[in-house]
Amino acid sequence: MQYRTLGRTGIKVTPYALGAMMLGGLGNPDRSEGIRIIHRALDAGINLVDTADRYGDSEEVVGEALKGRRDQVVLATKFWGPVDDDVNHRGASRRWIVEAVERSLTRLQTDYIDLYQLHRPDPDTDIDETLSALTDLVRQGKVRAIGSSSMRGSEIVEAQWMSERRGFERFRTEQPNYSILDREIEREILPVIERYGMGTLVYSPLAGGTLTGRYRAGQDNDLFRSTRTGMQHFRDERRLAVVEQLIALSDEVGVKLTHLAMAFVIAHPGVTAAIAGPRTMEQLEDTLAGLEVSLSDEVLDRIDAIVPPGESIGAMDMVYRGPEVGDPSLRRRPAASRSAA
């Protein structure tokens, strides 16, 4: 197994990371299988495990699995999302961060977290408050490094500048969405991350399951799942049409589509690791079977011809886009103040 340095932290991680979101009630409720999946990934050489406090009981599954093996693992988790009905048990305030980290430490059965990540930007909290609280956690030894996720380029720069001006710990990593179908981060996010020497842990390299080949153009595509909230991308004919082209390419070059998709994202020099989030042992074994796959420049050029660099074909429904896009009141003047058309 090869290793890459996680930004400039000096921490060495494998190019493939294990995402634990689906290990537990959100995906596979069989905890014993979840533990076996984690053990199998570690035995195969993967040393980075990523989870979050809002992933149901995922942190508890990870904590059980890492008993006796904690020192072998670079353990990453995240905070921000609501974990219950209390309005203050979410976000990026100091009040919540100092409580959230203790809860995660307990569930993970550890006294330190290698990488503690802000899961989403929090427009209600000044970034200096968030960074100040996270800096205290690093100085207390509860956290080794801090990171962010789904930040825009301007937010990454603002956070870096704030850390420099105030003497805070700085975000050492960013976790954006990246796949063959979702390449927008190549335009700005990845260049900014590289400029600041940050590590990049990309999530959904299989485009939320679209690049498994299970969902095909013109087929039923399991309507129960595809009509659920957050799953409409399985019915996006634009994305499915591109998947057909990628399936043809994978067949021609003799590389399974899932392996092609994973190898594509880790080929970018700005990407440190791709997070694979298996729900079953079969899915993990498929990921492991592609660990040694490397794509030639010719294949990468052909992928560029199908989905141009910096472009995306549609988008996954669950991707964070910020309140400015999701809330109509933030992008429309009040009706009474609008000029007559």
User: Nearest to residue 160, comparing CAs of 266, 7, 279?
Assistant: 7
Find tokens 């309005």 and name the residue. Answer: 87
Lookup: tokens for 175: 């976790």
CA 5 to chain centre: 18
Q: Is the Cα torsion angle 224, 283, 13, 293 positive or negative in sign?
A: negative
Decide if 129 contacts 97 (C-beta within 8 A): no
Q: 3-state DSSP call for residue 110?
A: coil
Does residue 55 have an active-site annotation?
A: yes
Q: Terminus-to-terminus CA distance in the chain, angstroms? A: 62
Residues 6+ apart with CB under 8 A from 150: 119, 120, 121, 175, 176, 177, 319, 320
Q: 3-state DSSP call for residue 18?
A: strand
Lookup: tokens for 19: 């995402």
- Catalytic residue from among 16, 55, 116, 203: 55
Decide if 304 contacts 267 (C-beta within 8 A): no
The residues annotated with a catalytic role in the active site are 55
